[in-house]
Amino acid sequence: MLTGAGVSAESGVPTFREAQTGLWEQYDPMDLATPEAFARDPELVWRWYRWRRDLVAGAEPNAGHRALAELQSLVPRLTLVTQNVDGMHQRAGSSDVIEFHGNLFSNRCSAEARIVNAADDDDGVPSCPDCGGYLRPGVVWFGEAIPEEALHASFAAAADCDVFLSVGTSSLVYPAAGLADVAREAGAVTIEVNPSPTSQSESYTASLRGNSGMVLPQLVESLAH
């Protein structure tokens, strides 16, 4: 299963570009979400990400998130891959979530490229407690590769699934968009859940039109009875 920004949008979490509002509308995301931007002005990047963290922290998982957590208890195996960085799936109760683009609330050492369990003091640029290098948000920026472990686990699951769900994603961004192709080639039933058609809609076994917060609870209820 692959989820995208549309799932969390129903919780009021703005998409990446929708977050360019208010004080931040003068900035292009490329000025705030690249390694080059962080090297140029790490304090500016941190101010934006703290603002995004506050936005997400004020939101709650919606019916779609909760339905997927329930679905995990109804099937023998469910691999949930998300392009979202907001941690909403985990807050709703899903476990073993593969985060393709990292997590907004984790911190990574920019020198050692590893996740660091260190608190952010909400002021300035935090430092790694081990090496003293700058900490950065634990997300995948433009120009960076998807973590190899997440990439391998996602495509392995897609190649070994019976049913593949694509929920709330445009199916435009690769490599995530390629998961449906892998599942389809392996003989899986592929289902798209999205309010509007996407460029891949015709290649899915079925397309369910509607928001995930409406469609997914109905789907789970049908499986539970």
pLDDT tens string 158-213: 999 999 999 999 888 889 999 999 999 999 999 999 999 998 999 999 999 999 99
* Domains of the chain, CATH where assigned: 2-224 (3.40.50.1220)
Nearest to 60 by CA among 86, 98, 81, 79: 86
Q: Name the catalytic one among 89, 101, 152, 225.
A: 101
**H or E, element range at 159:** none
- DSSP string spanning 80-146? -EES--S-HHHHHT--S-EETTEEEEEEEETTT-SEE-----SSS--B-TTT-PBEEEEEPPTT-PP
Q: Is 88 exposed, middle or buried (0-12, 13-18, 19+ CB in 10 A)?
A: buried
> Mean pLDDT, the chain, as a whole number?
91
Render pLDDT for 35-93 as a digit per residue (tens, 0 to 9): 999 999 999 999 999 988 998 999 999 999 999 999 999 999 999 999 999 999 999 99
Render pLDDT for 149-165 as a digit per residue (tens, 0 to 9): 999 999 999 999 999 99
Write down the residue that tokens 């995208």 correspond to: 4
101 counts as catalytic = yes
Where do runs of H (alpha helix) occur along the chain? 5-9, 35-40, 42-57, 63-72, 88-92, 148-158, 178-185, 212-224
